[in-house]
Amino acid sequence: MFKGHVPVLLNEAISALNVSVGKKYVDCTFGFGGHSLEILRLGGQVMGLDVDDTGYRELTCGLKNKNSEKLDVGSLKLEKEIGSRKLENLRFVRENFRNLDHVLDSLGWDKVDGVLYDLGMSSYQIEESGKGFSYLREESLDMRMDQRLGVTAADLVNSLPEKELYELIKNFGEDLGAYRLARDIVRARKVKLIKTTTDLITAVGLRGFKDRYRIHPATRLFQALRIAVNGELEGLRESLPQAFDHLSKDGRLVVISFHSLEDRIAKNFGHNRQGLMSVGGVTLADDRELAINSRSRSAKMRVFEKL
């Protein structure tokens, strides 16, 4: 994929969706189009949503007439990927999937045959976006996937009371050291505002940290701030019922998550929603995928079918 992005569990997700020619599918996290393009190759129609349209703009570079609802077949990159006829079956809307009802209703897509959520971040967002998603490089502490949002991660760490910071880190990062991290952030910002990723790492004493464990100790802190800034968990909770309502009988709901908070929401929704059946349990990346894409190690895919 473009910008070096490798879709996680691509074959497994496409297989789970039971893609058929002419049927309608929603990719709630379009990204750089990895899953969507494969659905198109198999003859499906795709509605792609994403709050970050960087991938869409990259894919459609060279369009003669750009349109936020339907792609012109002038995109050389996409024509090369899937062919101009199949390209006509792709629509994209820059929108949060928590507004799925509005998007589908506005386009007259009352019922769809599959809905996909790939909740992981793209390689581009982490490595090239410059928004401060990674502790590995010095960038502005922004973390907004959608630049139309008002509050940044820097706003949160510089303004929230210590107790609220503690709860944010504990609840969204599931970090046992949340109290210490919140305390250190408050102490540091009294001396100097925390504006960059490096400022934050320095504030909590993790600069130059040599990880002895599976993940760097800053991972959960950055995860917590990103979730809070983008309202990720609330958005997923709001979106899943909308996806269910729009699914046709025997339609599939596929959710790929990357941490326990997302997975728990998907699991509870699928198991508690009347008229929805779990299919196949949890799918993890196999050894081959792990060897070529280390980020797939935390991916979990759940599949549900509407009865």
pLDDT, tens digit, for every residue of 198-239?
999 999 987 545 554 556 778 899 999 999 999 999 999 999
pLDDT band at 71 (very low <50, low <70, confident <90, very high): very low
Is the confidence at residue 138, as pLDDT, over 50?
A: yes
How far is the C-alpha of 192 from the C-alpha of 13, rounded, in Å? 46
pLDDT band at 296 (very low <50, low <70, confident <90, very high): confident
Q: Is the per-residue pLDDT at 156 higher than 70?
A: yes
Q: How far apart are CA 59 and CA 39, in angstroms?
A: 16
**pLDDT value at 182 more than 70:** yes
Whether the pLDDT of residue 31 is over 80: the answer is: yes
Count other C-beta atoms under 10 Å from residue 114's C-beta: 30
Which has the higher per-residue pLDDT, 70 or 162? Answer: 162
Cβ atoms of residues 152 and 143 within 8 Å: yes
The single-letter DSSP state of residue 258 is S
User: Would you state the CATH architecture of domain 133-231?
Assistant: Orthogonal Bundle (1.10)
**Cα–Cα–Cα angle for 292, 294, 295, rounded to 5 degrees:** 125
Say how far apart CA 114 and CA 101 lie, in whole Å: 14
Could you count the other beta carbons within 10 Å of the beta carbon of residue 73?
A: 17
Query: What ranges do the domains of the chain cover?
Result: 2-124+233-306, 133-231
* pLDDT tier at 75, thresholds 50, 70, 90: low
Give buried/exposed letters for 30-69 (b at 16+ CB in 10 A, else e): bbbbbbbbbbbebebbbbbbbbbbbbbebbbeebeeeeee
- Antiparallel, parallel or unpaired: β 90-93 and 45-49: parallel
Specify the CATH number for 2-124+233-306; select among 3.30.565.10, 3.40.50.150, 3.90.650.10, 3.40.50.20. 3.40.50.150
Does 223 or 71 have the greater pLDDT score? 223
Identify the band that residue 2 occupies on the pLDDT scale cut at 50, 70 and 90. Answer: very low
Arithmetic mean of pLDDT, 248-268? 97
Bridge-based pairing state of the strands 247-257 and 300-306 = antiparallel
CA separation, residue 186 to residues 37, 45, 144, 201 (Å): 46, 50, 22, 13
Q: Residues 18-45: what's their mean pLDDT?
A: 94
- 64 — pLDDT class (breaks 50, 70, 90): very low
Averaged over 262-278, what is the pLDDT?
96
Higher confidence at residue 181 or residue 65?
181
Residue 270 near residue 304, CB atoms below 8 Å: yes
Residue 54 has pLDDT above 90, yes or no: no
Rounded Cα distance between 191 and 31, Å, is 39
* Averaged pLDDT for residues 62-82: 51
Mean pLDDT of the chain, nearest integer: 88
Q: In sequence order, what are the beta bridge partners of 112? A: 247
* Contacts of the segment 289-293: beta carbons below 8 A, 24+ positions apart: 289/8, 289/9, 292/6, 293/6, 293/8
Lowest mean pLDDT: which of 6-10, 20-24, 204-208, 291-295? Answer: 204-208
φ, ψ dihedrals at 300, nearest 5°:
-130, 130
